[in-house]
Amino acid sequence: MIFRDRRDAGRALAHALRDTPGLERAVLLALPRGGVPVGYELARELRLPLDVLVVRKLGVPGQEELALGAVAGSGVLVVNPEIVRAFAIPREQIEAMAARERAEIARREALYRGGRAALDVAGRTAILVDDGLATGSTMMAAVRSLRPVAARLVVAVPVGSRGACEDLRREADEVVCLDTPELFHAVGEFYEDFEQTSDAEVTALLAQAGSGGQPCWAR
């Protein structure tokens, strides 16, 4: 399955989510930056409020493209113990990296929301959206950060590795993934246009959606 771009993927994903239990009180939380164009189209199609949930990947020192884990703004830290052991990364170093990323999370949340309040997810169905799952570490941190407050957690992605989707099925109440190809190297393989999403695009889409309040399409 090849998507034209992230917004095309969001429209395709909307069809698979129309019968989600609790949809009438659901909120959409997109993982920036790439998850926001997907989430915007999904929110528009399903007429749901949209917000961001900022989660930051922790990269192996010197090989930052390789994820050792992820951290959410709530403080939830998820690490891959196999990667940590393989590279002998001390816990103190991981905690220092996480502290730096938490500061970046706070900065990005303020930037993206532009002064709007965060959506209240307490007691509601939270649909977590990204443009795809490779290792799934950032999505795992997102799920665990919301577990204490959301009534139901749904992970929704256009494409993902089989391993990441299986791991998340043990944590989320539901995982909707349109494609789990047998051969999976990178999320970008499944998009014709996978140009990096900018902070400006994230901010603009959230402003159009009315992040933190009544969505513009419900007014």
Q: Is the pLDDT of residue 117 over 90?
A: no
What is the band of 201 on the pLDDT scale with cuts at 50, 70, 90? very high
- The pLDDT tens digits for 58-107 are 999 999 888 898 998 777 898 989 999 999 999 999 999 999 999 999 99
- Residue 65, pLDDT score: 81
CA angle 55/59/61 to nearest 5° reads 145
CATH number for the domain running over 6-53+101-210: 3.40.50.2020
- The pLDDT tens digits for 18-65 are 998 889 889 999 999 999 999 999 999 999 999 999 999 899 999 988
- The pLDDT tens digits for 127-157 are 999 999 998 999 999 999 999 999 999 999 9
Could you tell me the pTM of the whole model?
0.89
Q: Is the pLDDT of residue 119 over 50?
A: yes
What is the band of 159 on the pLDDT scale with cuts at 50, 70, 90? very high
β-bridge partners, 128: 29, 155
Q: Is the pLDDT of residue 216 over 70?
A: no
- Residue 182, pLDDT score: 92
- The pLDDT tens digits for 161-173 are 999 999 999 999 9
Q: Is the pLDDT of residue 211 over 70?
A: no
- Assigned token pair, 10: 């969001």
Which stretches of the chain are DSSP H helices? 6-17, 35-46, 81-87, 91-113, 137-146, 162-169, 199-209
β-bridge partners, 71: 56, 77
Question: Residue 183's closest CA among 161, 168, 151, 198?
Answer: 161
Distance CA(96)–CA(68), nearest Å, equals 14
Q: Is the pLDDT of residue 219 over 80?
A: no
- Give the domain ranges of the chain: 6-53+101-210
